[in-house]
Structure 1
Amino acid sequence: MRVLLTGSSGWLGRFLKPRLEEVGHHVIGLDPMPGRPTDIVGSVSDRAFVDRLFSEHRFEGVIHAGALHKPDIIRYPRQRFIDVNVTGTLNLLEAAVANGTSSFVFTSTTSLMITQAIRDETATETVWLDEASGPLTPRNIYGMTKRAAEEMCRLIHLDQRLPTIILRTARFFPEEDDTHRELAGENMKANEFLNRRLTVEDCADAHIAALTKASTIGFGNYIVSAPPPFGREACAALKADPISVIARCFPDAPAIFAERGWHLPRSIGRVYDPSALERDLGFRCQTDFGRVLAAMRENAPLPFAHDDLYVSPNETLARELD
């Protein structure tokens, strides 16, 4: 399949492009910033450019992973988020329809599901989040524009029958979190595999599964995250005493974490449920908390990336524009 991959210079793109090629796709990488996986430098917000690109390459599939992200809020005005995340998505969708593209995959985010109340953990129980959760009231311009782009995908599918799958990805970035300070580095990332993280490798493979299944499914919106080791029935206990819940699943976890001087979460405010992705697409993340703990138990390398010096292409571009 001839595939357009946007955001090819980004963290996901550098893993996704070679994995697509390994399974036989011919991939054109597009990004505003040059990079090894990027074949064409340009912006999806430029409609004439997008139309020319589709006319020249006749893409059979599109994976739209390019976007401005939450850390970019301090670097770019709101209008730029609308230009890239909303208008850019519409440009790609309409070009895909005009050129007979058979599969469209849109990389969205679980962030748009998080209200300020969920972020502040005001609920008395852990909030269990699946595709039916709502109402959705994104708390910043990033979430708002990704939500608008999701609705654009839905509308174009309804009007034009473009096979489209939306993937609401949980966290997979390698750098430090830009808002939470109670834990840092690998400890925080390891904890997040309980409820809100996946590896970039699993994220890439989920996109390939979506590209393959889009024409069969027609339209779908799915959470992509490592499967939690507990069920919805644990929500009350997860908020009050998560360490006890974790220890019931993994009896040696508290001791293993203590040996490293690490801390298990003192509270879990939300859990992402990726079971619909496994049900409909047959895809399940390979790396979960159990695998993370097994690596710790064996003093093996941790099965996820952490790089507190990572600089995103969007940050690099912003610096160049200053």
Structure 2
Amino acid sequence: MKLLITGGAGFIGSAVVRQAIAAGHEVVNLDALTYAACLDNLASVADDPGYTFEHADIRDRAALDRVFAQHRPDAVMHLAAESHVDRSIDGPGTFIDTNVMGTFHLLEAARAYWTREGRPEDFRFHHISTDEVFGSLGPEGQFTEETPYDPRSPYSASKAGSDHLVRAWHETYGLPVVLTNCSNNYGPFHFPEKLIPVVILNALAGKPLPIYGDGSNVRDWLYVEDHAEALLLVVQKGAVGRSYNIGGENERTNLDLVRTLCAILDRLAPREGSYADLISFVTDRPGHDARYAIDPARIREELGWRPSVTVEEGLEKTVDWYLANEPWWRALQARQGVGERLGVGA
């Protein structure tokens, strides 16, 4: 397939690009290169004849029309988004502009292209979203594809809006879409403002390891390469108009996760005392969702996918990667907002 991947220089997007190229697909990577993007994530495929980079913004309709006309993709995989909850609290406008209006412009460009091409049945618009659109769970239960939407942050509300637009373009215009909603990703090339890289890099620097509230918030952790594999499966074999929840089947409290990371660091980069001594509890994020958990039965039963990496294996791989790739993360630490406490604007 020829895939147009938006946000392909980001964390999840670059994992999808690398796997797609390895699987023999052609990839056109469309990215605006905002603060969280990094072309170094794609160094391993940059010279591959099947890879093309387009520096463009999903909010720029003229640029989108040119890219569609020039490259004529078989499918769109839409990952470009503002995604950091704390940043959405401090500056929600950017999230509405990119995640809602950007998705609208991409849908319209894709619809115009699909119509010009004679409405091919095998074209796909794959919208990649988050489990955060479903809100917050109590101690029991899991999100399914039928769970009502209940977003609690500007980020999750903007993603919920984009999900609704994609479904509406399918129902109103017949655009052949598939949707996925994933749990928390982690792994190599994770931008250093999210929990796991923050803990790793703060630990190596001997700085406090900040945990919001009492650390009891629960997340389902999905190794990014498992997620990329699932996304490529859905874009090829997912049923039109269908959504698929993608989970890691690895629930952990934030505190347990950080303690596991500290134990791995104690083995791989020993220091005097344990890294766990650096754990520090800080004021909670406003509106912090208590628990996310995904029921991945649909993608398992319909498409035969399930995660292959346990959270313990994935965290070990991730720590190994950060220890071996200091030049990559050092360069990103200088970017705006990295290393600062964000999300206190409420």
Q: Distance in 1 between matches of 2:80 and 2:331?
A: 12
TM-score (norm 2): 0.65
Given that residues 64 and 107 in structure 1 are in contact (C-alpha distance below 8 angstroms), is that contact kept between their aligned partners in structure 2?
yes
Given that residues 203 and 224 in structure 1 are in contact (C-alpha distance below 8 angstroms), is that contact kept between their aligned partners in structure 2?
yes
Give the secondary-structure state (helix, strand or coil) at the position aligned to 1:49.
Answer: helix
- Where in structure 1 do 4 or more consecutive aligned residues deviate above 6 Å? 259-262
Match of 1:286 in 2: 308
Match of 1:7 in 2: 7
1:132 aligns with 2:146: yes
Give the secondary-structure state (helix, strand or coil) at the position aligned to 1:18.
Answer: helix
Q: Distance in 2 between matches of 1:80 and 1:99?
A: 27
Q: Distance in 2 between matches of 1:142 and 1:77?
A: 10
Give the letter for the 2:229 counterpart.
Answer: D
CA gap of 1:114–1:144, structure 2 versus 1, over 3 A, is same
Match of 2:23 in 1: 23
Q: Distance in 1 between matches of 2:130 and 2:293?
A: 14
Give the letter for the 1:219 counterpart.
Answer: G
1:106 aligns with 2:127: yes
Given that residues 127 and 269 in structure 1 are in contact (C-alpha distance below 8 angstroms), is that contact kept between their aligned partners in structure 2?
no
Match of 1:82 in 2: 96
Q: Which of 149, 153, 156 is the equivalent residue of 1:143?
A: 156
Q: Which of 60, 64, 73 is the equivalent residue of 1:59?
A: 73
Given that residues 90 and 152 in structure 1 are in contact (C-alpha distance below 8 angstroms), is that contact kept between their aligned partners in structure 2?
yes
Q: Distance in 1 between matches of 2:331 and 2:242?
A: 29
- Shift of residue 49, structure 1, vs aligned partner: 1.3
Q: Distance in 2 between matches of 1:283 and 1:71?
A: 28
Match of 1:213 in 2: 237
CA gap of 1:6–1:221, structure 2 versus 1, over 3 A, is same
- Shift of residue 183, structure 1, vs aligned partner: 8.5
Q: Distance in 2 between matches of 1:311 and 1:183?
A: 29
- Shift of residue 63, structure 1, vs aligned partner: 0.5
- Shift of residue 14, structure 1, vs aligned partner: 2.0
CA gap of 1:76–1:103, structure 2 versus 1, over 3 A, is farther
Given that residues 75 and 318 in structure 1 are in contact (C-alpha distance below 8 angstroms), is that contact kept between their aligned partners in structure 2?
no
Q: Deviations over 1:103-144 (max 9, x none)?
A: 1111100111124xx4xxxx4x4242222222x221111111
CA gap of 1:274–1:26, structure 2 versus 1, over 3 A, is same
TM-score (norm 1): 0.70
Q: Distance in 2 between matches of 1:71 and 1:207?
A: 23
Give the letter for the 1:141 counterpart.
Answer: P
Match of 1:248 in 2: none
- Shift of residue 209, structure 1, vs aligned partner: 0.4
- Shift of residue 92, structure 1, vs aligned partner: 1.5
- Shift of residue 11, structure 1, vs aligned partner: 0.8
Q: Distance in 2 between matches of 1:312 and 1:84?
A: 25
Q: Distance in 2 between matches of 1:196 and 1:270?
A: 6
Q: Distance in 2 between matches of 1:159 and 1:224?
A: 26
Alignment map for 1:42-53 (pairs within 5 Å):
42-53=56-67
Match of 1:35 in 2: 39
Give the secondary-structure state (helix, strand or coil) at the position aligned to 1:88.
Answer: helix
- Shift of residue 312, structure 1, vs aligned partner: 11
Q: Deviations over 1:126-170 (max 9, x none)?
A: 242222222x22111111111011111111111232221211111
Given that residues 221 and 249 in structure 2 are in contact (C-alpha distance below 8 angstroms), is that contact kept between their aligned partners in structure 1?
no
Q: Distance in 1 between matches of 2:250 and 2:64?
A: 39
1:197 aligns with 2:201: no
Q: Distance in 2 between matches of 1:66 and 1:164?
A: 16
Give the letter for the 1:218 counterpart.
Answer: V
Q: Deviations over 1:256-285 (max 9, x none)?
A: 99x9888xxxxx944321111112222111
Q: Distance in 1 between matches of 2:31 and 2:331?
A: 12
Give the letter for the 2:124 counterpart.
Answer: S
Q: Distance in 2 between matches of 1:32 and 1:270?
A: 30
Give the secondary-structure state (helix, strand or coil) at the position aligned to 2:19.
Answer: helix
Structure 1 range deviating more: 219-228 or 53-62: 219-228
Q: Distance in 1 between matches of 2:330 and 2:28?
A: 23
Q: Distance in 2 between matches of 1:209 and 1:196?
A: 21
Give the secondary-structure state (helix, strand or coil) at the position aligned to 1:198.
Answer: strand
Q: Which of 78, 85, 107 is the equivalent residue of 1:93?
A: 107
Unaligned runs of 5+ in 2: 43-51, 115-119, 199-209, 268-273, 277-289, 339-346
Q: Distance in 2 between matches of 1:19 and 1:270?
A: 27
Give the letter for the 1:288 counterpart.
Answer: T
Unaligned runs of 5+ in 1: 230-237, 244-252, 263-267
Q: Give % identity.
A: 24
Q: Distance in 2 between matches of 1:74 and 1:311?
A: 24
RMSD: 3.8
